[in-house]
Each structure stands twice: as C-alpha cells, then as structure tokens.
Homo-oligomer: A and B are copies of this chain.
Amino acid sequence: MAKVKRIDHVAILVDDLEKHLSFWRDALGLEMTQIVDVPAEKSAVAFLPVGGSEIELVKPTTDDSGLARQLEKRGPGMHHICLEVDDIDGMFARLKEKGIQLLSDAPKMGVGGRKYAFIHPKSANGVLVELYELPQ
C-alpha cells in the first residue's frame, strides 16, 4: 500500500527573497543552498535544507500568477506542505477512491522525473498538500 515517507518541504510564500533570507538564513542560521528560477511557475525559489527536509521560500516573479494573487490577498506566510510518497500512482488512486479532491486528473511529471500532485485544501482542512515521488 502506498505510504507517506516524510515531510519533504514546507513552502513559504514571500514578497522578497533577500528580505526574508535575513531571517531564515542570517538569523536562524539555516544554509541556503540555491535560488532557482522556475519560469513554469512564474516564481523563484530559495532552498534551505534542514535535517532531511527543506524550507522553501517561494517568490512570485510576475503579477499574474495564482501565487502572486495569493500573496497580494493574504500577504506572506506558509503556502503548502510537501510529503514524499513511495508510490504516487497508488496514493493518487486511493485518495480519489476516498473522495479526496485533487488538483489534477493524474500525477504530473516534474523536473528530473519527479512525479507530483496537489491535494485541494478543501479536502485537507485548509492545507494545500503536495505529494511527490522521487524517480526510482
């Protein structure tokens, strides 16, 4: 049976990477390994690994994305939690069967063969949950 393995990352929506890195990196002392531009999601992401998981700071790079609108409406804050699963197809099928709302009809293929899917916050008590499976 498909299983959740661990918390992969917690994504935090920010309006300015440098400003917020001054807290997470400079004050808390987390290492910031890279900033990656993700044109497909109209955002730039700063990665801060911490004990096998990561904090990700996500900054919209345009004004017209869902992320940008959410930032405009709610301000910076926690955006989603990502859980690594061992079998995303199996998990996806089980969630559908149990009536959980998903944001796509099937898992999507991401960068580096990583398959992922999002669960609608309506089905996860207000939390946007991402699931992903590393390529074997």
Q: Which A residues are within 8 Å of any B CB, using their own CB?
A: 1-7, 10, 12-14, 19-20, 23-24, 26-30, 50-53, 55, 57, 75-78, 81, 83-84, 91, 94-95, 98, 100, 121, 123-127
Contact = CB atoms under 8 A, between A and B. Distances in A.
Chain A facing B: main interface SS: mixed
Contacts of A52: 6, 51-52
B126 A23 contact: no
Given A51-B5, A53-B53, A123 B10 contact: no
A20 to B, nearest CB: 5
A53 B6 contact: yes
B23 A4 contact: no
Nearest to A83: B50
Given A12-B127, A28-B91, A75-B126, 15 more contacts: A2-B29, A4-B30, A4-B50, A4-B51, A5-B50, A5-B51, A7-B7, A19-B125, A27-B94, A27-B98, A27-B123, A51-B52, A52-B52, A57-B125, A77-B126
